[in-house]
Amino acid sequence: MADLNQALQAPPEPTKKDFMSDQEVRWCPGCGDYSILAQMQKIMPELGIPREKIVFFSGIGCSSRFPYYMNTYGFHTIHGRAPAVATGLRCARPDLSVWVVTGDGDGLSIGGNHLMHALRRNMDITILLFNNRIYGLTKGQASPTSELGKITKSSPYGTIEHPIDPVSFALSSEATFVARTLANEPKHLAEILKRAAAHRGSSFVEILQNCNIFNDGAFVHFAGKDVRADRMLYLEHGKPMVFGANNDKGLTLDCPTLKKIEVKTNADRERLLVHDETLDDPGLAYSLSRLTYPDYPVSVGVFRYVIKPTYSGMLSEQINDAIARKGRGTLHDLLNSGKHWTIKADGSQARG
Amino acid sequence: MTAETAAKDKPTELVDRATIRFAGDSGDGIQLSGNQFTLTTASVGNDLATLPDFPAEIRAPAGTLPGVSSFQISFSGSEVLTPGDEPDVLVAMNPAALKANLGELPHGRIIVVNEDAFEPGNLKKAGFHENPLENDDLKAYRVVKVPMTTVTAEALVDTKLSKKDVERCKNFFALGVVYWMYSRPLEPTLEWIGEKFAKKPEYVEANSLALKAGYNYALTTEIFSAHFTVRKAKLKPGVYRNVTGTEATVLGLLAAAEVAKTPLFYGSYPITPASDILHELAKYKHYNVKTFQAEDEISAVGSAIGASYGGHIGVTGTSGPGLSLKAEFIGLAVMVELPLVIVDVQRAGPSTGMPTKTEQGDLLQAFFGRHGESPVAVLAAASSADCFRMAYEAVRLATKYMTPVILLSDGYLTNGAEPWRIPNESELPPIQISHLADPDTYKPYERDCLTFARRWVVPGTPGMEHRVGGLETEDITGNVSYDPINHDLMVRMRQAKIMRIAADIPPVKVRGEEQGDLLVLGWGSTYGAITTAVDQLRAAGHKVSSAHLRYLNPFPRNLGEVLAGFKTILVPEINLGQLRLLLRGKFDGNFIGYNRVEGRPFKVHEIEDKIKELLR
């Protein structure tokens, strides 16, 4: 009876612990990835998705160890190609919540092509790009987001290539949800992760994440706790683009570019841009993604959130339509398709 | 109008086998004419085989040699396994088509030319200094000059088509001429024209008129004194249809998915000559088939692996260059032990090579084209129709053994066509797929004791959340492991799993005596040429046997025994000896190669000559 009573009780609400796997986490002490993992495990129970319905994919790199540490389904694939595998699963299984964890090397260098196409197809997957502006797992080479002139093991005289901005890339790849957040700002991170998970379509989140071994302090000049209020702009839908410890700075449009202004008077306030993440035209979001310190504040938050038909949704629709129109094909129909003829036992022949 | 009524008017000559080659500009509708001739010939009960041959350029400059497209068909009342060595009749729609094909036409054979196309401009483009119809160049042949363009225009004078459209009907006129020559009925093509141009009645009228005009022209003019008939073939009783290798591959994959009651996912990137598989499968949405045109070859295979991970039958198709790009992902599928079918429609390589020409150059790539010890099952279809069975087998083995399977086809098989006896549903071997759902006993890398396959657990199954990946995994648990003894064990386990398949495939059969001086052993698309050569020589009293491999990794379990029965084993391949290398690594024997790599299938006489040389 006790067993029956137990069985009749509603299953206990899942907790953070339910999403922690039995594997020992093996990132370097002090790595930004710990914070991302902790926030992910924390928000998972809040999503209301059963654990078995969640799949994490990754490629190769430090970030790509992520799936081993999540007690969900997980698939550690090959370098740069996780979006391709995730795409196949998404087409096969519209019932699952599909995540891809990648990095600046994995996602933007070797896997740039797959990332672009997963985003522009509006695949219903959530892609998290941990950006530390360096190759960590291969021990310290320049990445596609390393700044021009960066001295690394592979560029002792400084890099001679221009970096790409992940959010700009995602916007120009037609992603329908695009955001940027920071590993060391847990609340903001958790909020963005939840919104990305809820979006139906291609969600892209750049997470600025410090590699304390090979590129320590990559973001400290604007994201350091003591300076971030003055050097970062927190985008919020419907709110004016204002920043600064005293809300005394802001952004306005000074065609054809954005302009940083001092906000002192009501007239200044009226000139401030108001953030609208639902704009179909990604132009303004693109401009915001490209602002860099010291000329401008670095923007974080949701750049774009628009609703468009998803690939998997349209795929299911086409299949359902075809079945409604032609009837579900059977093995018998298949084998008897095409123009055929019969040879009888006496060798005579008949059409059909 | 039927062949029977026409036959009264001129004498007919019975021939055992006939081979016709249609040749013209790639914009002349040659492939269309060839396909129509094939369907009609199949419908009158001849056995047949075809060889379409076309340039890689979509529209090479009109009238030039690189722009020549051709289609050869061989048909008979006896078994036909090859498209014929040389044509009996060459239909040349312009000077370039004549020039490009004349070298392969034995003296005394018939040439039907479109006389109108032999004007100075076209002659010059084809490199003729003089008009070969007006000098002695062709005196060794029976040349039939037909002013096709002019007569077609006269026949269509009452239609409302533009001059250009009228001219485009001349391929149906030519087809009509050949239909009369070989006593074929017009009805199947008239029916096809009616369906194809249902929305454009003026085209139905014009093309039908052109076809009939060609037929009547041949019947009534004095240019032909007789025409030919070919007996019906004695095919095994059953229901037949005509299939290309592409169609047979698609039907095989679909049939396997239906029998397995598991949806099919096909991820592919356009590549000649494999693209048609994607085009064909995309039509089968009502079979719940999901087709995905990926951004590249790598994504194509990756998406198929993702679909397999989710419980679908993941398939990707490509040709040699694409197989190279897919190598790393195939290695991942070996490591995570998920089912995956890779169809490689081989073409002439290396690199871009000759994309529209056939070759058997990818055998070693299929075996070894990956890093590490990375065994996969390798199958090869023997004929266009056999693509059905081998595609089905690829799915059966991939899902049963949780492994990638590479199915080798090639340009010749995929574009060629032949009659196919449609199997009964009961003739298809069972494919049973079950996704384990028992959280209490589940260990991701625990294996079936017979097949050594691990269980296929799909996301969405409660309580069985687990992680897989490309890092080496610990036996049983599937946890990441760098343990040296474990790695050695897993390397051997993956190899042993593939070898287990040998118990699940048919033994290789010997055609002829099971012991003797000479065995001709082939694999894949050389089946037709080898079998025909050996059968003909045996009929002439020579002592020679043949055997053919459709399962290459693992080899059939009796292969060693078969090879031991022969003093010499001739291995003809359209490569420089890839199977021979594998055989030498595994078996003792006197293996001799016959290797030509010319972008075309073997001719029967080439293999006959080599056999005769060895028997001397």
Across the range B74-90, mean pLDDT stands at: 95
Confirm whether B536 is domain-assigned.
yes
- Other residues' Cβ atoms within 10 Å of the Cβ of residue B528: 27
Collapsed DSSP state (helix, strand, coil) of residue B132: coil
Angle between helices B320-336 and B297-309 (to 10 degrees): 30
Taking a C-beta distance cutoff of 8 angstroms, is the pair B156, B210 a contact?
yes
Residue with tokens 């459209």: B165
- Other residues' Cβ atoms within 10 Å of the Cβ of residue B606: 16
CA distances from B316 to B272, B298, B339 (A): 14, 10, 11
The alpha carbon of residue B258 is apart from the nearest alpha carbon of chain A, in Å, by: 6
Confirm whether B394 is domain-assigned.
yes
**Pick from A73, A76, A87: which is nearest to B459 by CB?**
A73
DSSP A109: I
pLDDT of residue B6: 45
Encoded amino acid at B316, one letter: T
Q: Does A120 touch chain B (CB under 8 A)?
A: no
The CATH superfamily holding the domain A14-239+275-313 is Thiamin diphosphate (ThDP)-binding fold, Pyr/PP domains (3.40.50.970)
Q: Does A17 touch chain B (CB under 8 A)?
A: no
Confirm whether B466 is domain-assigned.
no
Which of these three, B401, B427, B453, is where a domain ends?
Answer: B427
In the predicted structure, residue B8 carries a pLDDT above the cut 60: no
B277 and B226 in one domain? no
B361 and B222 in one domain? no
CB spacing of A334 vs B251 below 8 angstroms? yes
In the predicted structure, residue A101 carries a pLDDT above the cut 80: yes
Confirm whether B381 is domain-assigned.
yes
CB spacing of A331 vs B298 below 8 angstroms? no
Chain A residue numbers touching B469 (CB-CB < 8 A) = 67-68, 74-77
B132 and B35 in one domain? yes
Chain A residue numbers touching B300 (CB-CB < 8 A) = 84
Please, where are the H alpha helices in B221-296?
Answer: 245-260, 275-281
In the predicted structure, residue B93 carries a pLDDT above the cut 60: yes
Encoded amino acid at B424, one letter: N
**Model confidence pLDDT, tens digit, residues A55-74:** 999 999 999 999 999 999 99
B265 and B198 in one domain? no
Q: What does the alpha-carbon distance between residue B227 and residue B15 come to, in Å, rounded to a whole number?
A: 10
B598 and B577 in one domain? yes
What share of chain B in percent tops pLDDT 90? 91
**Pick from A88, A340, A344: which is nearest to B237 by CB?**
A344
Contact map slice: B 474-533 vs A, CB within 8 A: 479-480
CA distances from A45 to A16, A50, A58, B118, B459 (A): 6, 8, 21, 79, 18
**Model confidence pLDDT, tens digit, residues B23-67:** 999 888 999 999 999 999 998 889 999 999 988 777 788 899 999
Preceding peptide of A186 cis, ω within 30°: no
- Other residues' Cβ atoms within 10 Å of the Cβ of residue A178: 31
Confirm whether B460 is domain-assigned.
no
In the predicted structure, residue A8 carries a pLDDT above the cut 90: no
Its ipTM equals 0.96
pLDDT band at A351 (very low <50, low <70, confident <90, very high): confident
In the predicted structure, residue B433 carries a pLDDT above the cut 60: yes
Nearest-by-CA chain A residue for B462 = A52
Question: Which secondary-structure segment (H or E) carries B180?
Answer: helix B170-181
In the predicted structure, residue A10 carries a pLDDT above the cut 90: no
pLDDT of residue B105: 96
Question: Which secondary-structure segment (H or E) carries B146?
Answer: strand B142-146
Confirm whether B469 is domain-assigned.
no
Taking a C-beta distance cutoff of 8 angstroms, is the pair A196, A12 a contact?
no
Q: What does the alpha-carbon distance between residue B308 and residue B130 come to, in Å, rounded to a whole number?
A: 62
Across the range B378-398, mean pLDDT stands at: 98
pLDDT band at B175 (very low <50, low <70, confident <90, very high): very high
Encoded amino acid at A89, one letter: L
In the predicted structure, residue B438 carries a pLDDT above the cut 90: no
pLDDT of residue A6: 59
What is chain B's mean pLDDT, rounded? 95
pLDDT of residue B1: 44
For residue B590, give its domain range: 510-615
Q: Does B285 touch chain A (CB under 8 A)?
A: yes
Confirm whether B237 is domain-assigned.
no
B362 and B256 in one domain? yes
In whole angstroms, what separates CA A119 from the centre of its chain? 9
Q: Does B294 touch chain A (CB under 8 A)?
A: yes
**Model confidence pLDDT, tens digit, residues B143-164:** 999 999 999 999 999 998 999 9
**Pick from B303, B464, B465: which is nearest to A88 by CB?**
B303
**Pairing of the two strands B510-511 and B417-421:** unpaired
Instruction: Sort B298 into a burial class: Cβ within 10 Å, 0-12 / 13-18 / 19+.
Output: buried
Size of interface A-B (CB pairs under 8 A): 209
CB spacing of B290 vs A92 below 8 angstroms? yes
**Pick from A71, A347, A351: which is nearest to B234 by CB?**
A347
Residue with tokens 């150059």: B361
B259 and B199 in one domain? no
Taking a C-beta distance cutoff of 8 angstroms, is the pair A56, A67 a contact?
yes
Encoded amino acid at B129, one letter: H
B607 and B520 in one domain? yes
B330 and B201 in one domain? no
CB spacing of B465 vs A345 below 8 angstroms? no
Which of A101-110, B225-234, B489-498 shows the lowest mean pLDDT across its residues?
Answer: B225-234
Taking a C-beta distance cutoff of 8 angstroms, is the pair B219, B6 a contact?
yes
The alpha carbon of residue B327 is apart from the nearest alpha carbon of chain A, in Å, by: 11
Q: What does the alpha-carbon distance between residue B413 and residue B317 come to, in Å, rounded to a whole number?
A: 15
Q: What does the alpha-carbon distance between residue B154 and residue B152 come to, in Å, rounded to a whole number?
A: 5
Which of these three, B427, B452, B479, is where a domain ends?
Answer: B427
B250 and B218 in one domain? no
The closest alpha carbon to B228, from B55, B44, B379, belongs to B44
**Model confidence pLDDT, tens digit, residues A151-163:** 999 999 999 999 9
The alpha carbon of residue B162 is apart from the nearest alpha carbon of chain A, in Å, by: 33
Q: What does the alpha-carbon distance between residue B566 and residue B579 come to, in Å, rounded to a whole number?
A: 17
**Model confidence pLDDT, tens digit, residues B348-369:** 999 999 999 999 999 999 999 9
Taking a C-beta distance cutoff of 8 angstroms, is the pair B344, B409 a contact?
yes
Q: What does the alpha-carbon distance between residue A43 and residue B319 come to, in Å, rounded to a whole number?
A: 45
Which of A34-38, A171-175, B51-55 shows the lowest mean pLDDT across its residues?
Answer: B51-55
CATH number of the domain that B100 lies in?
A: 3.40.920.10
Q: What is the dihedral sign for C-alpha B51, B57, B59, B60? A: negative
Which of these three, B403, B427, B451, is where a domain ends?
Answer: B427
pLDDT of residue B3: 45
Across the range A269-279, mean pLDDT stands at: 96
Encoded amino acid at A143, one letter: S
Contact map slice: B 416-445 vs A, CB within 8 A: 422-423, 425
B99 and B26 in one domain? yes
Q: What does the alpha-carbon distance between residue A255 and residue A268 come to, in Å, rounded to a whole number?
A: 17
DSSP A14: P
Please, where are the H alpha helices in B46-147?
Answer: 95-102, 120-125
pLDDT of residue B150: 96
**Model confidence pLDDT, tens digit, residues B518-531:** 999 999 999 999 99
The alpha carbon of residue B459 is apart from the nearest alpha carbon of chain A, in Å, by: 6
Confirm whether B505 is domain-assigned.
no
pLDDT of residue B2: 46
> What are the DSSP calls for B362-424, one per residue?
THHHHHH-SSSS---EEEE-SSTTHHHHHHHHHHHHHHHHTSEEEEEEEHHHHH-EEEEEPPP
Structurally, chain B folds into a number of domains equal to 3
Domain ranges of chain A: 14-239+275-313, 240-274
Preceding peptide of A297 cis, ω within 30°: no
Q: What does the alpha-carbon distance between residue B329 and residue B326 come to, in Å, rounded to a whole number?
A: 6
pLDDT of residue B7: 43
Contact map slice: A 60-89 vs B, CB within 8 A: 67-68, 71-78, 81, 83-89
B578 phi and psi angles, rounded to 5 deg: -75, -45
Which of A109-123, B2-16, B140-154, B565-579 shows the lowest mean pLDDT across its residues?
Answer: B2-16
B40 and B168 in one domain? yes
